[in-house]
Structure 1
């Protein structure tokens, strides 16, 4: 993905000004920004970012990206907490739906969706994905 391309997270910003810096290791300023960067990581197959952004207490062993899945789009429904300032709290919840294509096990490709309320925590100034509620 080139930097001028639209970010796959659906923000409307170019990839280079949106999720790319977070995938490259910069801290996400908000919990929602981290969630969007994780979606973008699934789109581009960035296992390292998914690993780094997952709280070690709840992180399963990889792999996290599956070759047979193609992530299509993301809709954020609601974000509670998770701002850029310490006063915004240390926990956040982001409610979203992600659409994707995957194989059905019988040689066909089907469209499906993942609707999740994700919980994030801030540790040492960095947002981390904790779990799904």
Structure 2
């Protein structure tokens, strides 16, 4: 788990508790699809499976989620965003997430769909095939 002094894993310059940590703890909810995407990346980085499941659309959410303890999510690049603003109900975010697994480094690229469910942004799923590098 990041310490309060360290920048958030999502890549924004704020400290984790002031950035994605507030969404993970339930103190706030992501106001845009992009911020939800960033908070989900941070949840992968810190191993917060409860938040990942909570922020997944009920129609596509898996019953459980097991993260690989050897995989470390290190950096996120937001490539494009379409809609997904504070007053919208749908949007998409294309991103590239970089990881390390032992001595191997790689990335995952996905164009993801987001929508609002009960007023909160949630991850629906990929719009195109997921590309692992």
Superposed pair shares fold, TM > 0.5: yes
Aligned partners of 2:83 and 2:57: how far apart in 1?
A: 18
Structure 2 residue runs without a partner (length 5+): 128-133
Query: Shift in Å at residue 4 of structure 1?
Result: 2.5
RMSD of aligned Cα (Å)? 1.2
Flag the 1:35–1:64 CA change in 2: closer, same or farther, 3 A. farther
**Normalised by the size of structure 2, how large is the TM-score?**
0.89
1:129 paired with 2:131, answer no
The 3-state SS of whatever aligns with 1:38 is helix
Report the counterpart of residue 47 of structure 2 in structure 1.
45
Task: Confirm or deny: 8 A CA contact 1:3 1:20 kept in the other structure.
Answer: no
Query: Shift in Å at residue 6 of structure 1?
Result: 0.2
Report the counterpart of residue 7 of structure 2 in structure 1.
6
Task: Confirm or deny: 8 A CA contact 2:57 2:122 kept in the other structure.
Answer: yes
Aligned partners of 1:7 and 1:117: how far apart in 2?
A: 22
The 3-state SS of whatever aligns with 1:111 is strand
Q: Give the aligned length.
A: 125
The 3-state SS of whatever aligns with 1:4 is coil
Task: Confirm or deny: 8 A CA contact 1:50 1:64 kept in the other structure.
Answer: no
Report the counterpart of residue 117 of structure 1 in structure 2.
111
Moved over 3 A (4+): none
The 3-state SS of whatever aligns with 2:123 is strand
Which of 77, 80, 99 aligns to 1:78? It is: 80
Deviation per residue, 1:26-60 (Å, 9 max, x gap): 21111111110000000100010001000111012
Structure 1 residue runs without a partner (length 5+): 104-108
Aligned partners of 2:4 and 2:85: how far apart in 1?
A: 25
Q: Which residues in structure 2 correspond to 1:86-125 (within 5 Å)?
A: 89-102=88-101, 109-125=103-119
Query: Shift in Å at residue 125 of structure 1?
Result: 1.5
